[in-house]
Amino acid sequence: MFLINCPYCGERDQQEFKAGGEAHIERPKQPTELSDDEWAEYLFMRKNIKGVQFERWNHAHGCRKWFNMVRDTSNDEIKAIYKMGEKPPSQ
């Protein structure tokens, strides 16, 4: 059970949070310009890395804010947490 440092509320138990999948997948600005394959790439394709992964998390039972997390999926070490819109830390 992680201890997550919400950038707005501080350290809270994992059960207050909801995981939201891979981070930094931007919704295309002009979807109609995309081919089926390009749209499918955005819609369905997600990485599932063993190692350092960038993820979206939501403090669902708290401030309801979304933020990003860098997590090593092999040992669940949370390497960084940063707000939406902020630049991801360089690896």
Partner 1 sequence: MTKNLRVKSSEYIDETNRVSFKFNGKTYHGFKGDTLASALLANDVHLVGRSFKYHRPRGIMTSGSEEPNAIVQINPNSNITEPNVRATEVEIYEGLEASSQNCWPSVEFDIGGINNFLSPFFPAGFYYKTFMWPSSFWEKYEFFIRHSAGLGKSPTTNDPDIYDHRNVHYDVLVVGAGISGILAAKNAAKNNFKTLLVDEKNEIGGSTIFENNEFNKIDSKTPSEWLKKEIEELKNIKNLEIKTRTSVAAYHQYNYILARENLTDHLEVKDKKNKIRQRLLKIRAKKVILATGALERPLIFNNNDRPGIMLSSAIRKYSEFYGVACGNKNVFFTNNDSAYESALSLYDKGINVEAIIDIREQSESKIVKKVKEAGIKIYWSHSIVDTAGYKRLNSVTIMKLSNDGTSVTGSKIPISCDCLGVAGGWTPSVHLYTQSGSKLKFDDEKKIFLPNQNTSDQISVGSCDGDFKLNEILINLNKKIKEMLNIKQTDFDSIKVEIDQENSKRNIWLLPSDKPLGKTKPFVDYQNDATAKDIKLALREGFRSIEHVKRYTTTGMGTDQGKLGNMHALGIIADTAGLKMGELGTTTFRPPYTPLTFGTIVGRNVGKFFDTFRRTPMNDWHLENKAKFENVGQWKRAWYYPINEETMHQAVQRESKAARESAGILDASTLGKIDIQGSDASEFLNRVYTNAWSKLAIGKCRYGLMLNEDGMVYDDGVTTRLDENHYIMTTTTGGAANVLGKLEDYLQTEWPELDVYLTSVTDHYATASLCGPNSKKVLKKIIPNLDLSDENFPHMSFKKANIGNIQCRIMRISFTGEHSYEINVQASYGKDLWEKCMEAGKEYNITPYGTETMHLLRAEKGFIIVGQDTDGTMTPIDLQMDWIVSKKKYDFIGKRSLYRSDTMREDRKQLVGLLTDDPNIVLEEGAQIVSELNQSPVEMLGHVTSSYFSPNLNKSIALAVVRGGKDMMGKKLFVPMENKNINVTVANPVFYDEKNERLNA
CA dist 46 → 9, 23, 42, 86 (Å): 29, 10, 8, 21
Of 47 and 76, nearer to partner 1 (C-beta) is: 76
CB of 11 to partner 1, least distance (A): 9
x-marked contacts with partner 1 along 29-68 as a string, rule CB under 8 A: -xxx-x-x--xx--x------------x-x-x---xxx--
Q: Are 84 and 68 in contact (CB under 8 A)?
A: yes
Number of shown-chain residues binding partner 1 (CB under 8 A) = 28
Contact 68, 56 (CB under 8 A): yes
Of 7-36, which residues contact partner 1 (CB under 8 A)?
13, 18, 20, 26-28, 30-32, 34, 36
Q: Are 57 and 66 in contact (CB under 8 A)?
A: yes
